Structures are given as C-alpha cells and as structure tokens.
Amino acid sequence: MARGAIRWIDIPSTDVKASAKFYEQAFGWKITRSDKWPSYPMFMDSDDKVGGGFTTDNEPSEEPGIVVFISVDSIEDALKDVEAAGGVMVHKKSLIHEAVGWWARFRDPSGNVVALWERPKQ
C-alpha cells in the first residue's frame, strides 16, 4: 500500500442499513455485512479502491469540512440516481475549470454533504 493513500472512510449515519442501501442504489457500491460487526455495514467503491463503513459513532456532517468527492460519468445522471435513492441536491453542477471538470453537492439521507466530480470530456 502506498504511503499516504486514502483507504478507508467512515460515513456517519443515523441508520446504517438505510445508508448502505442509499449508496448501493445511487452509486453501485458493493456492500458487505459481517457477523463480526453486524451494525457496521462496509463498502468498496465501484473501482474497488477505497472502502469504508457506515457508523453511528459520529454525527453526520451537514456543513462541509472535509468533503468526499465521488467520481461520476455524468453529474446530471448521478443527481437523478441520488434523488431516486432519497438524497437531495444542495449545490448544482458548476464548472471548476475546463481542464479539471465539474462538481456538485448533495445531502444523503443521514444529512451528510457529499460532492460529485465529473471529469472534462476529451
């Protein structure tokens, strides 16, 4: 593992089962459950590179501090999936820079503010 690589993220949740279902439905994350930690569903992102779990140990982050960005092919399509899964857009698609791409933010069902990132079309 490379030094400094981000490998795990705890996502605060008010209902870990509902959070797992939301991210599975909205982004296709692979959710696993363990008999060892039944109240801590874990996930791997769609690239199998970054994992984490849903925890009730921390309060959801309604105001951005550290913001997690989820890579998507289309922010418009991703926001439709987010809303269908129970999330709410809080910042519409905006250009970062032509060479960098676009971003938007949504609030998940537990109240966390999370960002989306769409790379520029080549």
Which residue's entry shows tokens 């910042």?
A: 91
Q: Can you list the domains of the chain with their CATH numbers? A: 8-118 (3.10.180.10)
Nearest Cα residue to 9 out of 67, 64, 63: 67
Segment 34-61, tens digit of pLDDT: 888 888 999 998 888 889 999 998 888 7
Q: What is the DSSP letter of 9?
A: E
The model scores a pTM over 0.75: yes
Q: How many CB atoms lie within 10 A of CB 14?
A: 14
CA atoms of 88 and 106, how far apart (whole Å):
5
DSSP code at position 26: H
CB-based contacts of 35, cutoff 8 Å, min separation 6: none
Q: What pLDDT is recorded for position 70?
A: 93
pLDDT digit string, tens, across residues 54-80: 999 888 877 767 788 999 999 999 999
User: Which pLDDT score, from 0 to 100, does residue 7 have?
Assistant: 79
